[in-house]
Chain A
Amino acid sequence: TQLLEQSPQFLSIQEGENLTVYCNSSSVFSSLQWYRQEPGEGPVLLVTVVTGGEVKKLKRLTFQFGDARKDSSLHITAVQPGDTGLYLCAPRDSGTYKYIFGTGTRLKVLA
């Protein structure tokens, strides 16, 4: 069983601040997806990273896939209340078509 850890589990910060959340494992993955989930809704796909060292930007969000493809980070600059939600990383289980979901980082942005 591959272990996946997301940190921090909870984060409450002021509007305008920056933050980084992490997704770590001891396993190598072929790709990794980041999702955001709001209460009562399904996860919404934000990005997919495939290549070790890859960096992708989506407006104020910057996603990085570790060189060894075992970890990933999500950096948000100047957070806004609309960024509030549960951020989930989901690496693809090697050798299968399954994605493994972490328990996520629950972000609350204070206005």
Chain B
Amino acid sequence: NAGVMQNPRHLVRRRGQEARLRCSPMKGHSHVYWYRQLPEEGLKFMVYLQKENIIDESGMPKERFSAEFPKEGPSILRIQQVVRGDSAAYFCASSPLPGAEQYFGPGTRLTVT
């Protein structure tokens, strides 16, 4: 399967724990975007990364959230000290070039109890 991979598909965390969401882009894609989707709402842009660089993090909450895309391995979205309001579906997308068509992964559904 050469598509965008995300894991885990479902993640349950208690308040105060850390959540780590992983995204492996499509083969040949070096641009990764993270989005959050709340029930009955649209996808909200969070962050755009290229290999080893954060290009645009204008949609990231100022605290507790961070993202990285190392030279080797998947992109990671990290949420520290999760709260109930962090419960959502988190999607990543990848593209071969900046601004090119984005292809989405299946998402990670985070539930904070």
Task: Tell me the A residues contacting B by CB distance below 8 Å.
Answer: 30-31, 33, 35, 40-45, 48, 88, 90, 92, 96-104
Classify chain B: how many residues form its interface, as a range: 20 to 34
CB-based nearest A residue for B98 = A97
Task: Please name all residues of chain A whose beta carbon is closer than 8 Å to the beta carbon of B69 when the two chains form the complex.
Answer: none
Pair B42/A101 contact, Cβ less than 8 Å: yes
Residue of A nearest to B105 (CB): A42
Q: How far is it, in angstroms, between the C-alpha of A6 and the C-alpha of B44 when the chains are bound?
A: 15
Assess the A33–B101 pair: CB atoms within 8 A. Answer: yes
Name B residues whose Cβ lies closer than 8 Å to a Cβ of A: 4, 6, 31, 33, 35, 40-45, 48, 55-56, 91, 93, 98-99, 101-107, 109
List chain B residues, Cβ under 8 A from A31: 99
Minimum CB distance partner of A31 in chain B: B99
Asked if A45 and B42 sit within 8 Å, CB to CB, the answer is no
| A43 contact from B6, B91, B109, Cβ within 8 A | B91
CA distance A96 to B33 in the complex (A): 13
Contacts of B35 in A (CB 8 A): 101
Most chain B beta carbons < 10 A, residue from A43, A45, A104 = A43
On whether the beta carbons of B42 and A102 are closer than 8 Å, the reply is: yes
Q: How far is the CA of A44 from the CA of B102 in the complex (A)?
A: 9
Query: With the chains together, A62 CA to B28 CA distance in Å?
Result: 30
Across the interface, do B43 and A101 meet the contact criterion of CB distance under 8 Å? Answer: yes
A41 and B107 within 8 A (CB): yes
Q: Is B43's CB under 8 angstroms from A98's CB?
A: no
In-complex Cβ contact of A92 among B43, B48, B99 (8 A): B99
Write the nearest CB–CB distance from A47 to chain B, whole angstroms. 9
User: If the complex has contacts A97-B48, A98-B48, A101-B35, are A45 and B43 also in contact, measured as CB distance less than 8 A?
Assistant: no
- Given A48-B101, A97-B99, A98-B48: A42 and B42 interface contact (C-beta under 8 Å): no
